[in-house]
Structure 1
Amino acid sequence: MVYFTSDLHFEHSNTMKFHPCFRPFSSVEAMDSALIRLWNDRVNPCDTVYNIGDLNFHKEHIHL
């Protein structure tokens, strides 16, 4: 399967403030955990994912 995505905004707390309907989480950690869980439920190692941009807000890496 091939997927296209963008604007995941890991570790970006303002995403919850600016888009509360799409990011209804109480903390950045809860948001990131939910995004990772949803990703892992859908994407498998044989899939190809094109991330168009805005993956995360900090320099640390997110491991999906």
Structure 2
Amino acid sequence: MTPFTEIGAAIEEAAWLAHVHNKPHCVYQRFDGLMEVTPENPDRNPMYTTGSPGVVTTEYRSAA
């Protein structure tokens, strides 16, 4: 998994992965300040969520 430093790139990747895999992907903030894109995980609080077919739900939540 590629860590992201730019939020726009992370959201674009999440939208693309949601489209390709046909399941929601989320942008999560890591402890080191970087962001990662993974499939939706109910145990974590996402910064942004993409649903199928890649529509972004803007529910920004700070990891702090």
- What's the TM-score bracket when you normalise by the shorter of the two chains? 0.3 to 0.5
- Higher helix proportion (structure 1 or 2): 1
State the TM-score, normalizing by the size of structure 2. Answer: 0.35
State the TM-score, normalizing by the size of structure 1. Answer: 0.35
Larger Rg over CA atoms: 1
